[in-house]
Structure 1
């Protein structure tokens, strides 16, 4: 088989010895036993069957078919198989007899090959005689593959230049020429292609003359996307997972970093996920996912905001020294909370109708303001009470503040 006939179907006959199956001097011979073809190409195979001419006047061949599914007792005709609809053609020539043998030839064609078409194909015929069913074993093994682009560094010390190599599982007949494409444009002929890394370019190859059978594209990572699970607000103490993904070929490697306020980074984890089994309020901040393959790298940052109930609550008086009747006094409450807490004030454990956030000021403190004060901070994630503050309002010669 010359290069032109092999390339027509992109086939490589890896083993081309006749395969025979005999039964009462019936034989089935395939043109090849193993075939490798490229995805999208056309697969052609044929077989010849023989039987004694002394039964020619007794029998009629009533059916022929090719199959991969089922068995020789209940085969599924490829022309009735929904996986091959519109892609299968089969035909048989008229039987001729020479000497003491009669011969027939049948062929099968499958167009637009898919990788799922990789299978063992067998021919079967049925005659009008009892038991007159014959299957050619072991059949023809078809392997469907893509052209592939292998990416490697040209020089280990130079990570900016890579080597692209076009190859296939199929040993294509002859010495085919390859065409290289960059962003769909023809840029080179040859098996190998040397490039300097540039973001935004993709590369593929094909056999010259069959440019519509392109290899899968290879390209640097595209801008990653990051998801947070579970979605919505993040509560302190919950389990949170950050997941990073990027479209890249070859597949990208992933690394997570914590971005500090000064812009520096701290390594966190290798892999697509960054998992907080028990997230803390201190984990609020910015995180960066770096994606990299041999053709380049891209990054994406995300900020997370951890919510939590009030912590570290305290109540203060200003001035903090002695309290003189008629003077101005301000009581203030503070806490660490996210979101910010609302405050409720109590005097002698009875709630006061003071504003929920603002410090409370006594413009002119009076003796009846004397008592024990505290505040309570609350948001949707919790509440917390402050320490007690005793405000003792006295005349000028008897002033005191006891906490």
Structure 2
């Protein structure tokens, strides 16, 4: 065993050989069975062991406790003993469990035992006989020197061994003078001086003052260092005092600076807060008693006594008597909760051991219960209020406990709750005792543990059902649900189109949704035209058309506001019948010809050119160009237009015809226009003569002889139009429309032949007129005659 000091007080560590009390692996290991500690210090007492497994069962410790007393053959846990209140800690870690007692008092001297209970049927063990703790105070020992009665050595002693390095503080006439292990005086010690000592860190537990010379020195000795009493009771705080000279004044006071009022005297007899409650009694010489009645919790303090003489004043460096005033408490020992009532056993408890054996009075709903014991067992219904008092102090009932009612829930404000506003929910159980409140949201965890649930800026997501619970010593009650409905204008609508790819002729649905309270009405627009309005934000096209594509707007609205969103609708359709064309309209063999194809489609179409009866495409794209066209290029060409929806095609017929032989071409090209018309007139003349020669000859009548005019001759024959194309070198093909040559009629019918346009190309070479005539006669076999 050794003693050490710290800023928090003395701690006693046990260093002696451990003592095992037990058998068959069950036992308690006490570090020491004998402990001696100084008053005010702290002591630690250790520990226990048990097997990890026995009888095929893993051993689990379910309860551990330290005790000194037994009640009904059961140990009383020190943690529930009032005289140890606030001074006992029970610390466990695996197989190590120790008891720590702080602020040791001499009355703490006792035998301490440890008990543990496991899940094994026989797994209970108490370490006996336990640990004997002895708590002692300090004393000043006077050692006189042999050579002079005026030289004295003072030592601070204890029945417990103090280590050599312990720091001691010395006091003279209750005033601190120095810090040293021993006290030697070289100065003269007067008979009126008294001395006391204290261990550094434990200054609240000094030794009693000692007169070094005789017994008539100045000193004050308090009867008790600490007193604990219940609220409403009375207390006597006493001391004995002695003065070397005659006392001129004396009084009791509270030394705390925060208590003193500069305008008031320190004497408690003149303190307004004690008026009518304080008196000082001195029934014998040298003994003073301070009596305080109708104690309040604010009376908890340290009280000191002081006196003065004509040349001396008693100091106040060391403490006097500490008074603790506590209220009685109702503790629930056993509790059984039924549907309509609670069965409970209550105990009237005080943290002061001095009132442990007192008589108590119980009150239920303000009526005295005919029972004067610390324990009270009864059935309690919702709303019952119970408290206890010390007998004779019925005006100072303990804080009451209540059998809780089902808590009610209120909401503020009671009007409509708008998003962003402040909302407060309040839980009230109408209990007169302390109640713990907890707030919950349905199907969620707890929200807080306060009587009120406050939303500083409530949101729509906070809507839902809420409830609270109220709990105290006599049980727990839960409130009904309260519905919180947060009103707000519509949020920005979410718009969608289904299906994602829209094909002309298909069914299409536009959907608009928006969170709103109350529910929103929806309006669909295209441009300035309203196409839908109602409580549902759905608009359907049963068979959508390409003209329906565009931007659509949805507006959601309620009485608090509106919001709008838009969506683009794109209608896909297969290509329309393509339009095909050829350029130029008149084609010359060897020239460049362009075929063009166009079609309306969504998405944009791909174009492919084919020649009939050929598998491979001729070209891709809208334009197909033949750079050097020949007669073999004649035929049907078709353009195919295709996109993801479908396809379409259209056909173009192209005919390429060869031009005149080279000899005729030279004659035609070389003859001027004048020569050509002359030859043509000659041919017409020959034809007319031949026609006339075929008729029978009749002698002309001189008087009726008629010479035909030129206009009359022209009425008999209609010629095809003749076109000349200049500056065309080596024409091969001509663009021929879908018109076809008519077959010759029967020989008995008038000859009638319709020609297509005949093209003559002139070149640089020229021929004679006669050659041109011969070539023309050889080339044309018939001339269209019109009747």
* TM value normalised by structure 2: 0.34
Contact 1:163 1:192 in 2 (8 A): yes
- For residue 440 of structure 2, the aligned residue among 256, 259, 271 is 256
What is the deviation of 1:186? 1.4
- C-alpha distance after superposition, 1:111-167 (max 9, x if no partner): 3322222221111122221x4344494311111111111113256999942211112
Contact 2:306 2:314 in 1 (8 A): yes
1:219 matches 2:402: yes
Q: What secondary structure does 1:338 align onto?
A: coil
Partner of 2:291 in structure 1?
109
Partner of 1:5 in structure 2?
none
Question: What is the root-mean-square deviation of aligned Cα atoms in Å?
Answer: 5.2
Aligned counterparts, 1:28-39, within 5 A:
28-39=220-231
1:68 matches 2:255: yes
Distance 1:338 1:311, change over 3 A: farther
Q: Distance in 1 between matches of 2:458 and 2:360?
A: 54
What is the deviation of 1:253? 5.9
Q: Report which of the two has the higher share of helix.
A: 2
Distance 1:383 1:160, change over 3 A: same
What is the deviation of 1:336? 4.2
Partner of 2:391 in structure 1?
208
Q: What secondary structure does 1:125 align onto?
A: strand
What is the deviation of 1:170? 2.1
- C-alpha distance after superposition, 1:245-286 (max 9, x if no partner): 65464643636251xxxxxxx353275267999987465222
Partner of 1:268 in structure 2?
445
Distance 1:384 1:215, change over 3 A: same
Partner of 2:319 in structure 1?
138
Partner of 1:45 in structure 2?
237
Contact 2:556 2:564 in 1 (8 A): yes
Contact 1:119 1:142 in 2 (8 A): yes
- For residue 303 of structure 2, the aligned residue among 98, 121, 128 is 121
What is the deviation of 1:30? 2.8
Aligned counterparts, 1:323-402, within 5 A:
335-341=514-520, 348=527, 374-378=553-557, 383-385=563-565, 387=567
Count matched residues: 327
Q: Distance in 2 between matches of 1:288 and 1:310?
A: 28
- C-alpha distance after superposition, 1:369-395 (max 9, x if no partner): x998744234657622355799xxxxx
Contact 2:342 2:403 in 1 (8 A): no
Q: Distance in 1 between matches of 2:255 and 2:299?
A: 9
1:184 matches 2:374: no
**Mean CA deviation greater in 150-159 or 113-122:** 150-159
Q: Distance in 2 between matches of 1:80 and 1:343?
A: 82
1:304 matches 2:493: no
**Mean CA deviation greater in 294-303 or 116-125:** 294-303
Q: Distance in 2 between matches of 1:143 and 1:28?
A: 21
1:78 matches 2:268: yes
Question: Larger Cα Rg: Structure 1 or Structure 2?
Answer: 2
Contact 1:79 1:89 in 2 (8 A): yes
Distance 1:123 1:70, change over 3 A: farther
Distance 1:151 1:22, change over 3 A: same
What is the deviation of 1:27? 1.7
What is the deviation of 1:202? 1.0
Contact 1:15 1:33 in 2 (8 A): no
Q: Report which of the two has the higher share of strand.
A: 1
- C-alpha distance after superposition, 1:278-333 (max 9, x if no partner): 98746522222122344243333322123443355679xxxxxxxxxxxxxxxx99
- For residue 285 of structure 1, the aligned residue among 453, 460, 464 is 464
- For residue 27 of structure 1, the aligned residue among 216, 219, 239 is 219
Distance 1:22 1:339, change over 3 A: farther
Q: What secondary structure does 1:199 align onto?
A: coil
Q: What secondary structure does 1:116 align onto?
A: helix
Instruction: Name the structure, 1 or 2, with higher relative contact order (CA <8 Å, separation 6+).
Output: 1
Contact 1:221 1:252 in 2 (8 A): no
Q: What secondary structure does 1:288 align onto?
A: strand
- C-alpha distance after superposition, 1:214-273 (max 9, x if no partner): 2211113352556689x994638x999967565464643636251xxxxxxx35327526
| Ranges in structure 2 where 5+ consecutive residues have no aligned partner | 1-82, 84-104, 108-136, 138-205, 497-510, 538-547, 571-787
Q: Distance in 2 between matches of 1:157 and 1:225?
A: 23
Distance 1:387 1:134, change over 3 A: closer
Contact 1:19 1:139 in 2 (8 A): no
Q: Distance in 1 between matches of 2:553 and 2:289?
A: 95
Contact 1:182 1:203 in 2 (8 A): yes
Distance 1:152 1:255, change over 3 A: farther
Q: What secondary structure does 1:376 align onto?
A: strand
Distance 1:188 1:312, change over 3 A: farther
Distance 1:234 1:123, change over 3 A: farther
Distance 1:267 1:345, change over 3 A: closer
Q: Distance in 2 between matches of 1:192 and 1:138?
A: 37
Distance 1:174 1:277, change over 3 A: closer
* TM value normalised by structure 1: 0.62
Q: Distance in 1 between matches of 2:293 and 2:534?
A: 76
Q: Distance in 1 between matches of 2:224 and 2:411?
A: 52
What is the deviation of 1:26? 0.8
What is the deviation of 1:341? 4.8
**Mean CA deviation greater in 179-188 or 299-308:** 299-308
